[in-house]
Amino acid sequence: GEGGDIISLVQKIEGVDFLEAIAYLENDCIEPAPKRETKKKPEVPYPKAKEAETFYRAIKRTSNDVFVARFFKQKGLNIHPTIGAVEYKAMSGQHYIAIPCPTKDRVFGLECRGVNDDGTDTYRDGQKVRKTTGHKLPWVFKRKGSSCLITESIIDALAGEIYFGFDGTLIALNGVGNIKFLPTICEKNAFEIVYLALDNDQAGQDAQRKAVSILKNTVKVEIITDHHEAGVKDLHKLLELRLGGEDKKPKLKEVKAL
């Protein structure tokens, strides 16, 4: 009835419970009851991480290991089960290779590449099919030693491993905007030397200059120019030249220190 409506209105306006509202209306409270302070939920730095992890665990159960191996083999790359790459088929029928980031043990996001049945990249409107589930963060493949190779994509990092015979940690930015994470990553892993091999284009070189400026006072930074000299965009295209017999001179040890 009307009395109930008034009580509800007082509860809503004054932020009080049922009994406090009745007391207020019966003049047991001369002043309106103080509003209760509601505790704010703490902000979660990566709110979509749980979504990404849950999705990853689900698709991992049905992943086709043969399909995953075919993808890396087709690109001339080593197969590393420890990075946790999996295959899944979307409702559209599109196959994807999904790689957890930053690692398979801390899944905050998944970098997904559209792949055809033969392991080659899927293109749509002239562009490679790509998508990110969760957060777009750097990928870190931690290994022995105090050096790391940093590229823009995971495929480029794995290509650099083969091209240079590099056995240190591999890092892929997964977007030049993720340069901001490098100081924390380098400090956490106590790297002594960083090899930068970002894309040979305007965006890549702008990002590389920024990376040098924020890292050079804390770690030795060396710039990789092999792909520039070969006239290709990135390390995977450089590796393809090697596999095609057009390039046989890796120079990781000869780059200029900044």
The whole-angstrom separation of Cα 139 and Cα 168 is 14
pLDDT digits (tens, 9 = 90+) for 10-34: 566 566 677 776 665 555 443 444 5
CA distances from 239 to 122, 202, 254 (A): 20, 21, 18
Q: H/E element holding 186?
A: helix 182-189
- For the chain, the domains span 1-38, 42-137, 140-258
What's residue 45's pLDDT?
Answer: 76
Q: What is the DSSP letter of 250?
A: -
Q: Compute the average pLDDT of residues 30-56.
A: 70
pLDDT digits (tens, 9 = 90+) for 53-83: 999 999 999 999 999 999 999 999 999 999 9
pLDDT digits (tens, 9 = 90+) for 111-166: 999 999 988 999 999 999 999 999 999 999 999 999 999 999 999 999 999 999 99
The whole-angstrom separation of Cα 150 and Cα 173 is 7
Contact predicate 113/133, CB 8 Å: no
Least confident of 4-13, 61-70, 161-170, 182-191: 4-13
Contact predicate 73/116, CB 8 Å: no
Q: Compute the average pLDDT of residues 174-178.
A: 96
What's residue 243's pLDDT?
Answer: 87
Q: Which CATH number fits domain 140-258: 3.40.50.620, 3.40.1360.10, 3.40.1080.10, 2.40.30.10?
A: 3.40.1360.10
